[in-house]
Amino acid sequence: MKKLINNPETVVHESLEGMALAYQNLLKVNFDPDFIYRLDAPIINKVALISGGGSGHEPLHGGFVGQGMLDAACPGAIFTSPTPDQMLEAAKTVNSGEGVLYIVKNYSGDVMNFEMAVELAMSEGILVSNILIDDDVAVKDSLYTQGRRGVGTTLIAEKLCGAAAETGYNLQQLATLCSQVNLNGRSMGMALTSCTIPAKGSPTFELSPQEIEMGIGIHGEPGREKINLKSADEITEMLALSIIEDQGYTRRVQQWNIESETWSEIELIDPPLKNGDSILALVNGLGGTPLSELYIVYRKLNEICQKKGLKIVRNLVGNYITSLEMQGCSITLVKMDDELIKLWDSPVKTPALRWGI
Amino acid sequence: MKKLINNPETVVHESLEGMALAYQNLLKVNFDPDFIYRLDAPIINKVALISGGGSGHEPLHGGFVGQGMLDAACPGAIFTSPTPDQMLEAAKTVNSGEGVLYIVKNYSGDVMNFEMAVELAMSEGILVSNILIDDDVAVKDSLYTQGRRGVGTTLIAEKLCGAAAETGYNLQQLATLCSQVNLNGRSMGMALTSCTIPAKGSPTFELSPQEIEMGIGIHGEPGREKINLKSADEITEMLALSIIEDQGYTRRVQQWNIESETWSEIELIDPPLKNGDSILALVNGLGGTPLSELYIVYRKLNEICQKKGLKIVRNLVGNYITSLEMQGCSITLVKMDDELIKLWDSPVKTPALRWGI
């Protein structure tokens, strides 16, 4: 295993130390329990946004902590959920009194731990809500996940809700917005190569020299199928059409009712994309793929969207939700309206996304 | 060869097309000859900055085109110099009448072609100057290069000179500034893995599973030595000390005299870094290395600089001058003063660097 690390056991800790040093003007890192938080938190009169999940997907989530996006991020061990005490301490640190929204990618460990954190936070008198992101159209029910997995739409939701929180949305409004963005977003990814978790020391899965995996999960979970290597245009078309032609899916989600302080199961359905829709397009690298290749994917994606009558009104091309050094990419399309575009364009100042400030 | 491409022959062209689509609000791409330029160029009363070089190092240089940085970038084929006609056409397109500064990485092909471009531009009545960046302390005289190679200081010079151009520096002042930044900067890199040029289809060089290359060039040129894999801290120390303890080097550079319209050979020496210096630290990924590992490198670099009495006043951690999907990193340290810090902090709006706008 060739990596720029000192010890598989200290990768996350040392990486967080480096991040704290590099972004002293933006954020702080609390250790034991580990969480990254805005230097200026808590922000008076603002609902706090917290996300988190296994490490190894950088810049997600820590790279999105800062003005106009997250107030805190809770990193777990690599590809492993953070624990409820991290989420609780983060909430206590960044809550201004207006409450906390947890944005959670749909993986069973994360879901369970964030649900526990919700109850712990409530028991400490913190107003809290949790919203699941489950936007990956590749497969339903997979390793680590019941239902669809949460991927690229997560960071779009973090940006949009972060902007909304700055303008004064209350917790209920933010939870509604976050849930809507999730329903508006769909993603699918593919891998050219595997990745190696430091503590394991060998590749998570195997692909032969001519094989790629369509619909891969960000932890290397099996996707739809292993196929022979195809051209970038063919791969892009397979991903894009899987997203565009997805007919939506009905999920039953446990959501915390802030007022009654009870859980309720709600049913959510995402409507399919349709001709004339405005969309945000994210072409995301999985960590080891050159930017130049992501542009080739974006070129074809743009052509396909045009043909399908989808108007790309905003885009993002780069490494945003990665799987260590995995080569490959994912595509995320999020239906946008004027309100969402305005929130997208709002100033943001984080390590990984920054404009207007 | 597993890559997200359609055809090795069309990689650069298609990638540029994708980039143009993704950044329609910032830049345009001219094809045949190929160059990327600011949407709003030429900027009245501003000296234009142009850089360029082989493709495969993205985001360098095209990702640095925009307000506060480059006016144009000329991409060659992968790891191959662009041609003088690209540089000339770019100059004609972005020159407002205040002249053009070419920022050139020291590789023989680039040097020769940019020198030809200087003469062509002058013959068309464009005031022009060229400044070489040769900041890589690893080796003197290597494959493709006489003297030291140009690496990470290039993008620092592009940012600082770009900011200075916006504030009204004239061409002579900008050339002086660029030359000074080059003398202030030193870099060294290392590779964990090789990379594969699409047109070749096999790795540029070989490293055994336990071997790394210290002092690697960004095209995979041999560095100082192949050694056994070490810890991130040990690797960081080797790179950092090579830079910090470098005693400087005397180079004789061909520079175009704007007024006399003649070439003259000038001697330039970079003074060593010393206790008490303020520096900008760049920890750069070569393309395939996770961000989390770059933070581990930054953590150790910060400790070493502190011990050596060097104060990191600004930093940049990420993939900025890459070698396709190569795994590894480079470190660049640039001595800063108040003027340079102010220029660094000035607003910039490019695909790869953006703040304040």
Please report the pLDDT score of residue A156 as a whole number: 98
Beta bridge partners of A133: A105
Task: Tell me B203's DSSP state.
Answer: B
Q: For chain A, first and last CA: distance in Å?
A: 40
Inspect the interface and report whether the beta carbons of A296 and B6 lie closer than 8 Å: yes
Per-residue pLDDT of chain B (357 residues; tens, 9 = 90+): 999 999 999 999 999 999 999 999 999 999 999 999 999 999 999 999 999 999 999 999 999 999 999 999 999 999 999 999 999 999 999 999 999 999 999 999 999 999 999 999 999 999 999 999 999 999 998 889 999 999 999 999 999 999 999 999 999 999 999 999 999 999 999 999 999 999 999 999 999 999 999 999 999 999 999 999 999 999 999 999 999 999 999 999 888 888 888 998 999 999 899 999 999 999 999 999 999 999 999 999 999 999 999 999 999 999 999 999 999 999 999 999 999 999 999 999 999 999 999
Please report the pLDDT score of residue A134 as a whole number: 97
> Are the CB atoms for B100 and B177 separated by under 8 Å?
no
Say yes or no: B55 contacts chain A, CB-CB below 8 A.
yes
Question: Which one of B288, B324, B329 has the shortest CB-CB distance to A325?
Answer: B288
Q: How many residues in chain B?
A: 357
Q: Which of A38-42, A58-62, A139-143, B314-318 has the lowest mean pLDDT?
A: A139-143
Give chain A positions within 8 Å (CB) of B290. Answer: 56, 58, 287, 322, 324-325
Residue A257 pLDDT > 90: no
Please report the pLDDT score of residue A208 as a whole number: 96
> Are the CB atoms for A60 and A43 separated by under 8 Å?
no
Give chain B positions within 8 Å (CB) of A328. Answer: 4
Give chain A positions within 8 Å (CB) of B319. Answer: 291, 319
Say yes or no: A271 contacts chain B, CB-CB below 8 A.
no
**Distance (Å) from the C-alpha of residue A8 to the closest C-alpha of chain B?**
11
Question: Which one of B315, B325, B349 has the shortest CB-CB distance to A22?
Answer: B315
Inspect the interface and report whether the beta carbons of A296 and B229 lie closer than 8 Å: no
How much is the mean pLDDT over chain A? Answer: 97
Q: Whole-model pTM?
A: 0.98
Q: Looking at this protein, which amino acid is placed at residue B80?
A: T
- A309: left (phi > 0), else alpha (psi -120 to 50), else beta? left
Inspect the interface and report whether the beta carbons of B22 and A315 lie closer than 8 Å: yes
Burial A234-249 (b: 16+ CB within 10 A, else e): ebbbbbbebbbebeee
What token pair was written down for B196? 């594969």
Please state the φ and ψ torsions of residue B198, each to the nearest 5 degrees: -50, -45
pLDDT tens-digit profile of A175-214?
Answer: 999 999 999 999 999 999 999 999 999 999 999 999 999 9
Contacts of A10 (CB under 8 A, 6+ apart): none
Give the mean model confidence (pLDDT) for residues A294-308. 98
**Options 3.50.40.10, 3.30.70.330, 3.30.310.50, 3.40.50.10440; CATH of B14-184+249-271+343-355:** 3.40.50.10440
**Distance (Å) from the C-alpha of residue A255 to the closest C-alpha of chain B?**
33
- Candidates A4, A190, A317, A331: best to mutate against B (most CBs of B within 10 A) is A4
Active-site residue (options: A15, A49, A51, A57): A57
Q: Looking at this protein, which amino acid is placed at residue B118?
A: V
Question: Which one of A6, A294, A324 has the shortest CB-CB distance to B233?
Answer: A6
The domain spans of chain A are 14-184+249-271+343-355, 188-244+274-336
Query: Edge-to-edge, what's the strand order for the sheet holding A128-133?
Result: A27-30, A35-38, A72-78, A48-55, A100-105, A128-133
Residue A61 bears catalytic tag: no
What token pair was written down for A241? 């059409």
Which residues numbered 206-245 in A keep a CB inside 8 Å of some CB on B?
A: 209, 212, 229, 231-233, 235
> Are the CB atoms for A296 and A303 separated by under 8 Å?
no
- Domain B188-244+274-336: give its CATH superfamily: Dihydroxyacetone kinase; domain 2 (3.30.1180.20)
Please report the pLDDT score of residue A255 as a whole number: 84
pLDDT tens-digit profile of A258-273?
Answer: 888 899 899 999 989 9
> Are the CB atoms for B150 and B165 separated by under 8 Å?
no
Residue A254 pLDDT > 90: no
Strand blocks (E) in A172-327: 185-191, 211-214, 225-228, 250-257, 262-269, 278-285, 311-318
Please report the pLDDT score of residue B109 as a whole number: 97
Residue A57 bears catalytic tag: yes
Which residues numbered 297-316 in B keep a CB inside 8 Å of some CB on A?
A: 297-299, 302, 315
Give chain A positions within 8 Å (CB) of B293. Answer: 3-5, 15
Q: How far apart are CA B273 and CA A2, in angstroms?
A: 31
